[in-house]
Amino acid sequence: MALDGSRPGSGVVAADHVSLRRNNLSVVLRHVRELGPRSRARIAADTGLNKATVSSLVAELVDRGLLREGNAEPERGVLGRPGQLVELDGRGVCGVGAEINVDYLAVTALDLSGETVTERRVPLDVAHLAPGTTLDQLAELIREAVDAVVARGGQTAGVTLAVPGLVQSSTGSLKLAPNLGWTEVPVVDEMRARLGTPVYPVRVDNEANLAALAAYSEMKTAAESAGDSKVEDIVLLTGAVGVGGGMVAGGHLLRGGHGFSGEVGHMPVAPAGGICGCGRTGCWETVVGLTALLNKATDSDDPVRDPSLDVEQRLAEITRRAEAGGARTLRALADVGTWLGIGGAILVNILNPDVLVLGGYFAVLGPWLKEPLETAIRDRVIAPDGGGCRVVQSELGFAAAVRGGAQISLDQVFLDPTLVGRDAAGVAQ
């Protein structure tokens, strides 16, 4: 039986039979996800649920296509005859993440076990297009992803849109995205209309939040399989034209009181700096964003600035120049790294993360940015040894937000397995 997390302030929650059953389905499904294939008897012993209940819960989860029968349990000696293992299935259940950013669109579909079913990214000069035009193009990419899910006999559990701005999750509205030039766009309603009001839910979230969730999930899995100490608190920095922050504390995403947390790009760290997309002066992203790097490293007619280039092509060229020892490029990278450390140290002093994750373009150029960043953290963080914070480059790169978006849709299924219909073809609303 799952107990209340029992921290001060936890709600005192009463349950009826339906919510108790739903909770227990979730407990069993998450148990198998986290701990791997195991027998019904083992699940009963581990969770404190009785064996008959576990058998009934497993049967329902198999019915819903979320678990499947696995191999026979290895011989267990004195503990009796071997049982049948059950394992995570969910190949038929997919979450879709779809991102709008300043210079690209991206879509990914993941199945319940975390396998990638399809992914695409296309360069697009979003800041110079009408929101409707961009949403049309993204809808087309989402439809392709949903078709790919259907083609493998699966169902879509939900679509999550990732946007680089302030999101009001409750209404599905993007309040403000300075670097896109978008204000008050009801992105969920607009997308649902373009997708023909689908049966699956459509959500929207801040791209840095979603990237942080994806990075957290990846690091947690990696730490567990390596037997490392727990990673429960991370700060992820998304480096693009703008800079966003996504924060996970104690395993939970920090959204703030109204969902507007993580606006780290606008810390006023460079009073003598340039004008920001937000209209203010000296914001952090004016000294560490991709535009700042390009301005420092290249002339205005440098081909690397061609807007039709994908961001990865652009970064490949910067990398080539840095590896060739280009003095101007290396100076620009060192400068960005130092500024990254000045703002990074503020975040580490405030939040004391286990890990500061470099995402987006910071991850790609990490080999040059990491040293000045780590120096600044050692020098400027008041806790000894940077408060124990490690700096790592995300392995997910620009795919982090879409993966996080897909995961959020799948997380809903882990929390409430009854969202997936008992007939494998349809998702209950």
Kindly calculate the radius of gyration of the chain based on its CA atoms and give it in whole angstroms. 23
Instruction: Verify binding: residue 293, a copy of itself, rule CB under 8 A.
Output: no
Of 13 and 327, nearer to a copy of itself (C-beta) is 13
Of 166 and 315, nearer to a copy of itself (C-beta) is 166
CA distances from 269 to 64, 137, 284 (A): 52, 37, 6
Q: Which of residues 199-228 bind a copy of itself (CB under 8 A)?
A: 213, 216, 220
Q: Is 105 exposed, middle or buried (0-12, 13-18, 19+ CB in 10 A)?
A: buried
Span interacting with a copy of itself, options 28-36, 85-93, 114-122, 147-155, rule CB under 8 A: 28-36
Report the nearest approach of a copy of itself to the CB of residue 44 (Å). 10
Of 57 and 315, nearer to a copy of itself (C-beta) is 57
Q: Which two tokens stand for residue 176?
A: 């403000």
Instruction: Verify binding: residue 309, a copy of itself, rule CB under 8 A.
Output: no
Are 417 and 22 in contact, with CB atoms under 8 Å apart? yes
Span interacting with a copy of itself, options 156-164, 291-299, 378-386, 395-403, rule CB under 8 A: 378-386
Report the nearest approach of a copy of itself to the CB of residue 241 (Å). 15
Of 227 and 384, nearer to a copy of itself (C-beta) is 384
Q: Which of residues 150-169 bind a copy of itself (CB under 8 A)?
A: 166
Of 253 and 297, nearer to a copy of itself (C-beta) is 253
In degrees and rounded to multiples of 5, residue 259 shows phi and psi of 85, 10
Instruction: Verify binding: residue 178, a copy of itself, rule CB under 8 A.
Output: yes
- Cβ-based neighbours of 221, under 8 Å, separated by 6 or more: none
Instruction: Verify binding: residue 170, a copy of itself, rule CB under 8 A.
Output: no
Q: Which of residues 101-130 bind a copy of itself (CB under 8 A)?
A: none
Instruction: Verify binding: residue 354, a copy of itself, rule CB under 8 A.
Output: yes
Instruction: Verify binding: residue 31, a copy of itself, rule CB under 8 A.
Output: yes
Of 20 and 122, nearer to a copy of itself (C-beta) is 20
Span interacting with a copy of itself, options 52-60, 119-127, 185-193, 338-346, rule CB under 8 A: 338-346
Report the nearest approach of a copy of itself to the CB of residue 176 (Å). 7
Of 129 and 415, nearer to a copy of itself (C-beta) is 415
- Cβ-based neighbours of 385, under 8 Å, separated by 6 or more: 378
Instruction: Verify binding: residue 46, a copy of itself, rule CB under 8 A.
Output: yes
Report the nearest approach of a copy of itself to the CB of residue 147 (Å). 28
Span interacting with a copy of itself, options 78-86, 121-129, 175-183, 319-327, rule CB under 8 A: 175-183
Instruction: Verify binding: residue 358, a copy of itself, rule CB under 8 A.
Output: no
Are 323 and 136 in contact, with CB atoms under 8 Å apart? no
Give dist(CA 405, CA 203) in Å, integer.
9
Q: Which of residues 230-289 bind a copy of itself (CB under 8 A)?
A: 231-233, 245, 247, 249-252, 254-264, 266-269, 271, 278, 280
Contact pick of 315, 340, 363, 389 for a copy of itself (by CB under 8 A) = 389
User: Positive or negative, the Cα torsion across 269, 270, 271, 273?
Assistant: negative
Span interacting with a copy of itself, options 72-80, 88-96, 287-295, 387-395, rule CB under 8 A: 387-395
Instruction: Verify binding: residue 48, a copy of itself, rule CB under 8 A.
Output: yes
Q: Which of residues 401-420 bind a copy of itself (CB under 8 A)?
A: 408, 411, 414-415
Of 84 and 352, nearer to a copy of itself (C-beta) is 352
Of 179 and 329, nearer to a copy of itself (C-beta) is 179
Of 2 and 424, nearer to a copy of itself (C-beta) is 2
Total binding residues toward a copy of itself, as defined by CB under 8 A:
85
Are 81 and 117 in contact, with CB atoms under 8 Å apart? no
Of 70 and 259, nearer to a copy of itself (C-beta) is 259
How many other CB atoms are there within 10 angstroms of residue 374's CB atom?
18
